[in-house]
Amino acid sequence: MANPSPIQHVVVLMMENRSFDHMLGTMPNVDGILGADGNPDPKYFNLANPADPTSKKYPAGSPGNYVIPTVDIAQKSGFGGPGHSFSDATTQLDASAQTSADVPDPAPLDGFVSGYIHELQTSVHRTNPTDAEITEPMTTFSAAQTPVISTLASQFCVCDNWYSEVPGPTEPNRLFVHAATSAGFVDNEWQAPISAQTVYQLLEQAGFDWAFFFVDLSDSDSFPALKSRTTRIFQLSAFAQQASAGTLPTYSFLCPQMNTGKDGSQPNSQHAPYDIRLGENLIADVYEALRNGPLWNNSLLIVTYDEHGGYFDHVSPPNGVSNPDRLTSPNAYVKQLAQNDPKNKGYLTKPNMQFDFTRLGLRVPTVLISPWIQKGTVDSTPYQHTSIMATLRDLFGIGSLTKRDAEAKSFAAQLRKLNAPRTDAPTKLNRPAMPPPASAADMQKPITDRQKDMWAMLSQLDGHPDSGKVTPPPPTRAAAAEYIQQRLQAHEQFHRLRRRKAFYEIHAAGKGKFGWRFHDDKGKVLATSTQSYASPMQAQSDIERMRDLAPFARQTSPASAKSAKPAPKQSAKKKRK
């Protein structure tokens, strides 16, 4: 049963790829990198070569870079900054580790610099990178550089012991925040549909509503059960409108912009190599929309980051946590992928792909924002992304999804320490200057590694000739932006039709054979089976597997579908002889 709470609206803004020490490590009173004298503690460093104690030392705490120093090269090559794959994270935790099982507890955290040197040499062919380039993963932003996140951290509650769920990249960590599992994935496999139950279904079962807000790519696209719910998926610009009108749902999840827009707008996710000031302004936009709207006194805003992005953090992530659902890496999908494609066979032999999900990822910055939170709170409770679900369970009485969220700690207690909502929270934040939008010349440059990595996610969108396919990305950012908009519009149109009078039929396709057709509201065939099935039940299963068509469509027969003009069964038989 839910405990009494003034909170009726929870908003989560998940940014990208920054560690706690990198963003907030010099903040007073937190477990950061400062020593007793108020300067970066010299004990936090990495060696250029961890196997050689005489190699150059790179201390943590040099000033952060809004854009990484390799930006000119990055713009040409698509370089995405410090490595943060599962394999990269393993060697960052322990430079000598060959497998994740080799990493001791606590981890030495000595492979950030050597790993980045290797990345510079192999990704952008910097055979002799400069110290300014090499030190990138050891940098830390000051409060003056990041006034938005720093102000919110000092005005509300900063969590200095919050961990990502997987020591690896974006997708598995984002899957965990929605489903309390990554379905056995440790790296980004954006084309894989995720069937795991999500927190959104739990909310609905308990009588609460939800929404996604996004710009170009939405986390909801990975879940067939969510992506078709387009009436709950909005453009990010709608968040401010709903906050102002007081119409936000119980739970809102916000996805930042991941790609360069048609208008030249730059990604504001804060994923390297993009300018971090864009993300600062996004955080300010979200906070001010909520703070100045009618729902403020009943709201909680959580600003967090999906994973560490290859940036140094001095705290070893916890080991010995529960596997959420007994799935391990490589999972069945990856094994099948390797078997079907010779190019992927080596994928299974990578020692660092073996993982049992009993270690968390590195710390990430997280700030809890509400008028019900005491100013200047530092919470060192060990939290993780699934603590969001644990808190929703405390606030709204929803259930659990896996062992991971069932065991995660709730931070609901931070919302019950005041007798009345605060009235001193700032209504406007000081922001860093916005960099200019992409120029026409920039728009003709190749897409970045980040765009290439996430490109397969578009295969999850419906209603386009390329639906279900992983297509090669266009050569330029302008072409990529145009293509993404086409896919988004097709997806929206497709599901708008489904919400009206769309229907499907299962028809005879020969003796003892069956197929299916999917029609729009006017009877036009939008999709048809590409093979025949031994029974109507098998055809039905294929409909549900292929692009999530069944939930919004009604089943009918050719005879009862007045607006459809399917071929007679006899004609279908003759056609296949």
Three-state SS at 319: strand
Q: What is the DSSP letter of 247?
A: -
The DSSP string of 121-168 is HHHS--SS--HHHHTGGGEE--TTT-HHHHHHHHHSEEETTEE-SSSS
Residues 426-453 have a mean pLDDT of 89
Q: Looking up tokens 């599962």, which residue turns up?
A: 86
Distance between CA atoms of 385 and 360, rounded to whole angstroms?
A: 10
Residue 138 burial (10 A CB sphere; 0-12, 13-18, 19+): buried
Distance between CA atoms of 88 and 107, rounded to whole angstroms?
A: 14
What backbone phi and psi angles, to 5 degrees, belong to 533?
A: -130, 155
- Specify whether the CB–CB gap between 83 and 68 falls below 8 A: no
Q: Round to the nearest angstrom and report the end-to-end CA distance of the chain.
A: 63
| Band of residue 53 on the pLDDT scale cut at 50, 70, 90 | very high
Q: 443 or 564: whose pLDDT is higher?
A: 443
Q: Looking up tokens 């854009």, which residue turns up?
A: 67
Q: Does the pLDDT of residue 408 top 60, yes or no?
A: yes
pLDDT at 287: 98
pLDDT at 544: 63
pLDDT at 351: 56
Distance between CA atoms of 571 and 577, rounded to whole angstroms?
A: 10
| Three-state SS letters, 182-211 | CCCCCCCCCCCCCCCCCHHHHHHHCCCCEE
Count the alpha carbons within 13 Å of 377 in the hemisphere toward its beta carbon. Answer: 22
pLDDT at 78: 60
Distance between CA atoms of 74 and 463, rounded to whole angstroms?
A: 34
pLDDT at 349: 58
> What's the chain's average pLDDT?
88
Domains, the chain, ranges and CATH?
15-415 (3.40.720.10), 441-498 (no CATH), 503-576 (3.30.160.160)
Q: 541 or 220: whose pLDDT is higher?
A: 220
Q: Which two tokens stand for residue 538?
A: 């098998």
Number of H helices, E strands in the chain: 20, 18
- Give the closest residue to 148 by CA, choosing from 286, 259, 14: 286
pLDDT at 357: 97
Distance between CA atoms of 549 and 571, rounded to whole angstroms?
A: 26
pLDDT at 550: 47
Residues 457-465 have a mean pLDDT of 93
Residues 375-401 have a mean pLDDT of 97
Say what percent of the chain tops pLDDT 70: 89
Q: 264 or 78: whose pLDDT is higher?
A: 264
pLDDT at 347: 61
Beta strand 383-384 with 162-163: parallel, antiparallel or unpaired? parallel
Q: Which tens digit of pLDDT belongs to each residue from 71-108?
A: 455 444 567 789 999 999 999 999 999 889 999 999 99
- Give the closest residue to 372 by CA, choosing from 414, 310, 332: 414
Count other Cβ atoms within 10 Å, centred on residue 308: 32
Q: What is the DSSP letter of 567?
A: P
Count the alpha carbons within 13 Å of 240 in the hemisphere toward its beta carbon. Answer: 10
What backbone phi and psi angles, to 5 degrees, belong to 47?
A: -95, 150
Q: Which two tokens stand for residue 485?
A: 């908009």
- Give the closest residue to 141 by CA, choosing from 315, 270, 12, 316: 270
Count other Cβ atoms within 10 Å, centred on residue 234: 18
Residues 457-485 have a mean pLDDT of 92
pLDDT at 34: 96
Three-state SS at 283: helix
| Band of residue 302 on the pLDDT scale cut at 50, 70, 90 | very high
| Three-state SS letters, 415-429 | HCCCCCCCCCCCCCC
Biggest alpha carbon distance in the chain? 88
| Three-state SS letters, 388-408 | HHHHHHHHHCCCCCCHHHHHC
| Three-state SS letters, 290-315 | HHCCCCHHHEEEEEEECCCCCCCCCC
Distance between CA atoms of 267 and 273, rounded to whole angstroms?
A: 10
**pTM metric for this prediction:** 0.86
Q: 524 or 375: whose pLDDT is higher?
A: 375
- Specify whether the CB–CB gap between 401 and 13 falls below 8 A: no
Q: Does the pLDDT of residue 3 top 90, yes or no?
A: no
| Band of residue 500 on the pLDDT scale cut at 50, 70, 90 | low
Residue 577 burial (10 A CB sphere; 0-12, 13-18, 19+): exposed
Count the alpha carbons within 13 Å of 15 in the hemisphere toward its beta carbon. Answer: 33
Count the alpha carbons within 13 Å of 37 in the hemisphere toward its beta carbon. Answer: 4
Distance between CA atoms of 264 and 434, rounded to whole angstroms?
A: 13
Distance between CA atoms of 222 and 458, rounded to whole angstroms?
A: 9
- Specify whether the CB–CB gap between 518 and 552 falls below 8 A: no
Distance between CA atoms of 210 and 229, rounded to whole angstroms?
A: 11
Q: 495 or 114: whose pLDDT is higher?
A: 114
Q: Does the pLDDT of residue 253 top 80, yes or no?
A: yes
pLDDT at 75: 47
Say what percent of the chain tops pLDDT 90: 68
Q: 372 or 501: whose pLDDT is higher?
A: 372
Residues 225-232 have a mean pLDDT of 91
What's CA 362's distance to the chain center, in Å? 16
Count other Cβ atoms within 10 Å, centred on residue 569: 13
Beta-bridge partners for 384: 163
Distance between CA atoms of 43 and 45, rounded to whole angstroms?
A: 6
Q: Does the pLDDT of residue 568 top 50, yes or no?
A: no
| Band of residue 538 on the pLDDT scale cut at 50, 70, 90 | confident
| Band of residue 278 on the pLDDT scale cut at 50, 70, 90 | very high
Distance between CA atoms of 2 and 392, rounded to whole angstroms?
A: 9
Q: Does the pLDDT of residue 546 top 90, yes or no?
A: no
